[in-house]
Amino acid sequence: DGGFCVATEGNACAYEAKTVIVATGAHPKELNIPGEKEFRTKGVSYCTVCDGPIFSGKRTVTIGGGNSALESALMLADIASEVTVINKNAAFKGEASLVEKVTKHSKIKVIYNALTTEILGDGSFAKGLKYADSTGVEHTIEMDGAFIHIGQTPNSQIVPADCQKDSFGYIAIGLDGATSIPGLFAAGDVTHSAHKQIIIAAGQGASAALSAVQYINRL
């Protein structure tokens, strides 16, 4: 009838629906280094907006070289006592205005050509990290919180192959939450929206739900 079949493990068509709203979110890319999983939520974070205020007056490190890492460093500069940015590349890949603010900020120290190799801790909380410089020599930094901002991967594999996505795999939607496939809607971090915040995702979810009802009513 032109609807959708939603598969589950062991069932090729567990649910049938006239419309589907995809709100599967995205997951942060990981460094995949020793200590990262052990100290996640114990000094290792992937969201400065969420967890930055916890580290007021403490030493923080931001790992990354794009806009999210630059924004993280600037946000932490107003919160933490020390801010270090570790960039594996020789230069930042973010917007020029953000790069200028970070590199000129008196409270932010930038380490280039540095590859983070390990998160260190006392078993209960992160206390430092190791990185290798361009010559392979390893260094240790003492810190209280590490913010990893090296990108996200959208959980968009669920949608049909012909559903329009951007170059990073985020689902393209209109203002009403509609995708390129009639009856298929999306909301939240899985979409190509500019900002990934709960309040924005919730609003998109409401919009997508209303649009889905309108779509059904017009059938």
Q: Which residues are catalytic?
A: 47, 50-51
144-179 burial, b at 16+ Cβ within 10 Å, e below that, comes to bbbbbbbebebbbeebeeebebeeebbbebeeebbb
Interatomic CA distance for residues 180 and 192, integer angstroms: 13
Q: Helices 67-77 and 96-104, interaxial angle, to 10°?
A: 40
The SS3 assignment for 87 reads coil
Interatomic CA distance for residues 144 and 163, integer angstroms: 43
Q: How far is CA 107 from CA 74, 78, 101, 150, 210, in A?
A: 9, 9, 11, 22, 47
Helical residues (DSSP H) of the chain, grouped into ranges: 48-51, 67-77, 96-104, 198-218
Interatomic CA distance for residues 28 and 7, integer angstroms: 25
